[in-house]
Structure 1
């Protein structure tokens, strides 16, 4: 990297998810590179990627480091309104169970961003990047030509740059080319993610004591439910009208995100059948498997939205390994996939974005050679990503009792 022939270095980011967009925002703010993001989805709506995201202190710090102030204000305005009252645990009949506690150094700060809606976050991260993000670009391969990187896409188009960032997720095509032997471990757990309108869940009988907490339900037959509230401080559409007129943040009502998990050995379906189920069939599967659960919980399931319900296999990268320090650089799930049990996967990608932005800024300003800066970024990334995966696996073992991965956690 570095200035070449008087021009700024060109950074090609493959993948327009949370990490890739945060990096683009950071590099745009730093003004040290020409950055372009290539996203395979046809639009910002794209594929379903989840709903509510917990934002850790580290994730919030990364967002505030990379985003312009107006975007930060939008995230603050649309964050979860209900301060987390901690994690509570129950069995399937709502009998209390022991639960771990977690400290948050932010306390009850009024501008704390402790949870966001994922779709809203993505739209905020896209704000101001109309000339940076290219949709409908499925990456197929790259090549090095004359000291430059050429990225090729499925539509026959190509782009030339000095740096290629692999921010293309768990099934990274960049990783598949550069490190074809890298694999992730199947934890043996299959999950059903869904969204239920908050008003419908309350009307169905969700107890007051469960409405504003992270709720974990573990049944003796190996089934597990996580229920998380998303209550907007300000409705996204109104927040945009007030803080960024003309920006489309969409319309979203308050809701609960639910994650219903079971070990694949107890599912009774092979993966082909499970991942072929429709949203309606997945919702019915949950209702069938929880027929003996407390009726207040089953009422929530009955109002889950089939169109917002999808299956997931829990996987993890164990161990996390750095890539060769050079112009092709990993970020996010492409290098450190982890199960959602710890709520830190997106936060770790955000940390990557801020750390990589600092590293590339130092290179662009002539403060460090590329290989040295990338090696330093990856050494730190491997450390905190490994900690995040181990924590996620600990929580998975606590909540599920059985996962298939042979590592310390």
Structure 2
């Protein structure tokens, strides 16, 4: 690699790792600082659905050979297509084939457009977040420093240093990219607090179960809705993929979401610290009256992989402007966190990573004006995605954000 000062990247999420892959291909040095101890430190087995735009961005960074391996690792679903089912009776509320030019209709009670499920080859494409991280990280492992919690930065006359929770500092870098998620300290510092992530009050649970537990559904993308609960509705979304139904070593995932107040961690517990059996117990209790075709998803779930999810969202009014810092910028959820409605969070993140990587590659590394050009584009891309996600989630999850009163993360 070149001997110039490295690009410093806070966080080893999917956007940060894709950016690192782009930098490595462009022979630009980098360092990644991740607060976790390893890739498997926390449960992260839930799947991400990839749009055509997301796949295009990933392919542009990985190149033909690596992208082929990534594509082979993705699950592809066609079959029945998309269906909304009554979780109690098992009856179909609405359905349509996944193929075709029009996106599926939004589930009853929702507002705003639904994202088209199909992305390539007339199929719904998805991959586990953990698998995506490992594939993106290939070749960059030696540049990741684990258990390094970035809490801020300091500018130097010719660069920038990351500051860690223990008070130590990184080597000097040419650029610092805050990609450490919704609690990004880099984002808060560089934007002067203008970048905010709101806690919507809604919660989710991620779970996994053996393929045999999904036989009552068949192939397709499904939303199971339970509107009978007096405290508020809950639903799950899952993608049952062909070719794997009879493989006992494969697990399919599901994601449960509920209106504010419905899904709660045990009394007094931090939602980020509770994983495994306590979370599985809550999921099983919430679904105890569901139809027999769906019960195996919870009765047979992999208890160790159960994890809560705090549903957050950046400013629905749009990604704000802040005084540009030529040496510091932000990426992924740190700049445009969004609800799961529409399934566009990861797709927007990888598009941002591809954009920033391309600009750095074309410039041969950092240069004046680069972060300003990147932020101008990511502000538009992020604002559009967050707004669409929020409008759909208002109806689907019953959330409402008042940017003056809603708590921030």
For 1:111-130, what aligned pairs fall within 5 Å after superposition?
114-130=125-141
| Greater displacement, 290-299 / 346-355 | 290-299
SS of aligned partner of 1:54: strand
One of 167, 171, 187 as aligned partner of 2:179 = 167
SS of aligned partner of 1:45: coil
Is 1:89 matched up with 2:89? no
What corresponds to 2:406 in structure 1? none
What corresponds to 1:39 in structure 2? 34
SS of aligned partner of 1:128: coil
What corresponds to 2:320 in structure 1? 321
- Alpha-carbon shift at residue 302 of structure 1 (Å): 0.9
> What is the TM-score of this pair, normalised by structure 2?
0.82
For 1:296-311, what aligned pairs fall within 5 Å after superposition?
296-311=293-308
Is 1:355 matched up with 2:355? yes
Question: Relative to structure 1, is the Cα distance of residues 116 and 233 closer, same or farther in structure 2, using a 3 angstrom cutoff?
Answer: farther
> What is the TM-score of this pair, normalised by structure 1?
0.82
SS of aligned partner of 2:172: strand
Note the aligned Cα RMSD (angstroms): 3.0
SS of aligned partner of 2:208: strand
For 1:339-354, what aligned pairs fall within 5 Å after superposition?
339-354=339-354
Question: Relative to structure 1, is the Cα distance of residues 349 and 362 closer, same or farther in structure 2, using a 3 angstrom cutoff?
Answer: same
SS of aligned partner of 2:72: helix
Is 1:264 matched up with 2:274? no
Question: Relative to structure 1, is the Cα distance of residues 66 and 194 closer, same or farther in structure 2, using a 3 angstrom cutoff?
Answer: same
Superposed CA offset, 1:312-355 (max 9, x none): 22110013224432210110011111112221111111011111
| Greater displacement, 298-307 / 264-273 | 264-273
Structure 1: gaps of 5 or more residues? 1-5, 235-250
On the 8 A contact 2:152/2:186 being kept in 1, the answer is yes
SS of aligned partner of 2:253: strand
For 1:284-303, what aligned pairs fall within 5 Å after superposition?
284-303=281-300
Superposed CA offset, 1:345-395 (max 9, x none): 1111101111111222343379xx522x32222122122212212222233
What corresponds to 2:153 in structure 1? 142
Superposed CA offset, 1:254-290 (max 9, x none): 3222222222334577874472655323222223223
Is 1:223 matched up with 2:233? yes
Q: d(CA) in 1 for partners of 2:255 and 2:332?
A: 22
What corresponds to 1:245 in structure 2? none
- Alpha-carbon shift at residue 65 of structure 1 (Å): 1.1
One of 43, 46, 51 as aligned partner of 1:51 = 46
Q: d(CA) in 1 for partners of 2:292 and 2:254?
A: 16
| Greater displacement, 346-355 / 141-150 | 141-150
Q: d(CA) in 1 for partners of 2:91 and 2:51?
A: 29
Q: d(CA) in 2 for partners of 1:353 and 1:379?
A: 14
Is 1:151 matched up with 2:158? no
Q: d(CA) in 2 for partners of 1:268 and 1:61?
A: 37
Is 1:192 matched up with 2:205? yes
Structure richer in helix, relative to its length: 1
Q: d(CA) in 1 for partners of 2:394 and 2:20?
A: 36
